[in-house]
Amino acid sequence: AHKMIIAIDGYSSCGKSTLAKELAARLGYNYIDSGAMYRAITLYFLRNAIDLGDHNEVLDALSQISLSFVFNEHRNASDIYLNDENAEPFIRDMIVSEKVSEVAAIREVRSFAVAQQKRMGRKKSIVMDGRDIGTAVFPDAELKLFMTADPEVRVIRRFKELYATNPNITLEEVRDNLQLRDHIDSTREESPLRRADDAVILDNSNLSREEQLKLVLEMVKDRT
């Protein structure tokens, strides 16, 4: 069958990765979480106290980073490895979430991540989610989705996810972080979050997971 790329972009906590994972499983494609790459880079920068304003320090740090995805059967998804360490247990921590948008706005960081993302789409059919997949990484993707959801619905979804491992988290904290990331992500100079002209808008505030999956599988069928 002919190769297919599905690009899913949108605001934070819109359910992009949930949908992307289910689509990939159903279609037998690889799922790639591009946000995990920016998060792993941020984790490295935090651990090594990289000065984000120092161009050479940033470039040098990037040259020390190797990222890879390894499928984890228990999760039925891939874990991201940062220089041979499974970084998955750390990359969703609040300390990373608070810094990631600042790191992802740096031009050198984006070219580093985007080059690798483009390579991953070369051979296999994939579903990739992020902020600039349909606009910058795969402008020729066969199917592009732009996901949105009511902001408070998103806050509550993310809160529930985080609360499972961190009972000290507050709604306020989660709300502030989502607002801050969406603001930085959509106003940065380097490939800001925006809907590609040919992306289909999917507002899932009132759609179940099954309903979303069914809708998108129809779109995939129309395009193959």
State the residues that interact with ligand C5P by CB under 6 A: 12, 34-35, 38-39, 100-101, 104, 130-133, 181, 185
Q: How far is the CB of 92 from ligand C5P (least distance, A)?
A: 8
Q: How far is the CB of 1 from ligand C5P (least distance, A)?
A: 26
Q: How far is the CB of 57 from ligand C5P (least distance, A)?
A: 20
Q: How far is the CB of 38 from ligand C5P (least distance, A)?
A: 4
Considering beta carbons, is residue 186 or 224 the nearer one to ligand C5P? 186
Q: Is 63 annotated as contributing to ligand binding?
A: no
Considering beta carbons, is residue 100 or 149 the nearer one to ligand C5P? 100
Q: Is 214 annotated as contributing to ligand binding?
A: no
Considering beta carbons, is residue 38 or 146 the nearer one to ligand C5P? 38
Considering beta carbons, is residue 111 or 224 the nearer one to ligand C5P? 111
Q: Is 16 annotated as contributing to ligand binding?
A: yes
**Secondary structure, 3-state, the chain:** CCCCEEEEEECCCCCHHHHHHHHHHHHCCEEEEHHHHHHHHHHHHHHCCCCCCCHHHHHHHHHCCCEEEEEECCCCEEEEEECCEECCCCCCCHHHHHHHHHHHCCHHHHHHHHHHHHHHCCCCCEEEEECCHHHHHCCCCCEEEEEECCHHHHHHHHHHHHHCCCCCCCHHHHHHHHHHHHHHHHHCCCCCCCCCCCCEEEECCCCCHHHHHHHHHHHHHHCC
Q: Is 10 annotated as contributing to ligand binding?
A: yes
Q: Is 111 annotated as contributing to ligand binding?
A: no
List residues forming the annotated binding site: 10-18
List residues forming the annotated binding site for ATP: 10-18
